[in-house]
Amino acid sequence: MTIIYFDQAASSFPKPPSVALAVAKAINEYGANPGRGGHQLANKAASIIYETRVKVANLFGERDPNNVIFCQNTTHALNQAIKGLGLKKGDHVISTTYEHNSVRRPLEFLKREVGITITYLESDHNGGIDKEQLLKEITPETRLVVSSHGSNLTGAIFPVEMIGLVCFEKGITFLVDAAQTAGVIPIDMEKMHIDMLAFPGHKGLLGPQGTGGLIVKKGIELVPLIHGGTGSQSESEDQPNETPYRYESGTLNTPAIAGLSAGIDEVNKVGLENIYKHESRLTKYALDKLETLEGVTVFGPDSHKERLAVIPFVIDGTDVQEIAMIFDQHYQVALRAGLHCTPLAHQTLGTLAGGTLRASFGLYNTVEEIDSWIEMIKEIKEGLVG
């Protein structure tokens, strides 16, 4: 039986065939160390990495490709941004209650170890954040605002344009977590006044796992998380100042970055608008079907609101982990159960005690898969009654 994969919010699958081919080509044809030698294989590897920087920069409205820093994933990128900013005791950070632990935990670490203060803005289930409340929470000590672009739990889309404009006018650094939106929704860092953008390569950009990055606006200086060899200025005991090399110590994952390059090509080929339309159509279709089922509670934005292809739900009176296991082992459906690394959001929804199931759709999912899934839910419910 073919597995129905409804865990796209965690990692996109399957990947385009071109991604696997690009990874294999890098391993088999130019698997040398980029930036660590002058021979043709090293130069080819370095060239592929730079070409990918250019594609990333173009995709997100960044003028200088060298402001693209490759990381292991969005978590790595967010840690580099948050911990590298040099926040000190008394500095204030504003975030939201819908943040992933990749934002919350670094912030709470700095609160404990450094003495920063944090304000978590409440968002409604539609992703709304009140501008007046944001302005009210800003103090002379506010140095950073961090916001997700889209919720990995509910699919709500947050008003990053409004937040970015407020930060720009107040002279506050604005960091956006684009884990759920990169490759799905257009992002223009300049127009949105985003100073730092953390993104994954393995989700909407269709690249391999172990890829992601941080784009840092020129003029923002970060302390590197990792120090070591960069392939340049080896005579110095200090980390070089040039971006991106300052933040990329050690050997980059050239095969994965080559795969990411191919993934971005696929995204550009299909088009962000078409990707979003497809995922929105699937989401609306699934929500309409779920609405007809008694004993199934769905969370998230109102039906008329724009949202991502993420649906949290529970089958009333059941344990979400048990139901996820039934889907996996009996029906061959992959979805996720639990707190989804965002406990504050579950607290806001009132689902912190048990968590939720989460179905998330992507470019290659189909209406037929959703029809099959709905029938499975009906069978599970009938089995519970019986």
CB atoms within 10 A of CB 354: 14
Pair of tokens at residue 319: 């344990």
What is the sign, positive or negative, of the torsion defined by CA atoms of 165, 166, 172, 173? negative
| Angstrom distances, CA of residue 24 to CA of 64, 71, 162, 267 | 29, 20, 43, 20
**According to the model, what pLDDT value does residue 238 have?**
79
Of the candidates 181, 200, 185, which has an alpha carbon nearest to the alpha carbon of residue 77? Answer: 200
How far, in Å, CA of 163 to CA of 182, rounded?
18
pLDDT by position in tens, the chain (length 386): 689 999 999 999 999 999 999 999 999 999 888 977 789 999 999 999 999 999 999 999 999 999 999 999 999 999 999 999 999 999 999 999 999 999 999 999 999 999 999 999 999 899 999 999 999 999 999 999 999 999 999 999 999 999 999 999 999 999 999 999 999 999 999 999 999 999 999 999 999 999 999 999 999 999 999 888 766 676 777 777 888 989 999 899 999 999 999 999 999 999 999 999 999 999 999 999 999 999 999 999 998 899 999 999 999 999 999 999 999 999 999 999 999 999 989 998 889 998 999 999 999 999 999 999 999 999 999 887 55
How far, in Å, CA of 172 to CA of 142, rounded?
7
**According to the model, what pLDDT value does residue 304 have?**
87
Of the candidates 148, 193, 151, which has an alpha carbon nearest to the alpha carbon of residue 174? Answer: 193
Tokens 């039986």, located at residue = 1
My answer on whether omega of the bond before 65 falls inside 30° of 0, hence cis, is: no
How far, in Å, CA of 163 to CA of 160, rounded?
5
How far, in Å, CA of 22 to CA of 52, rounded?
12
CATH class of 17-269: alpha beta
* pTM for the whole structure: 0.96
Q: Which CATH number fits domain 4-14+271-385: 3.50.50.60, 1.10.10.10, 3.90.1150.10, 3.30.70.580?
A: 3.90.1150.10
**According to the model, what pLDDT value does residue 36 have?**
72
**According to the model, what pLDDT value does residue 216 have?**
98
Domain boundaries along the sequence of the chain: 4-14+271-385, 17-269
DSSP 3-state assignment of 130? coil
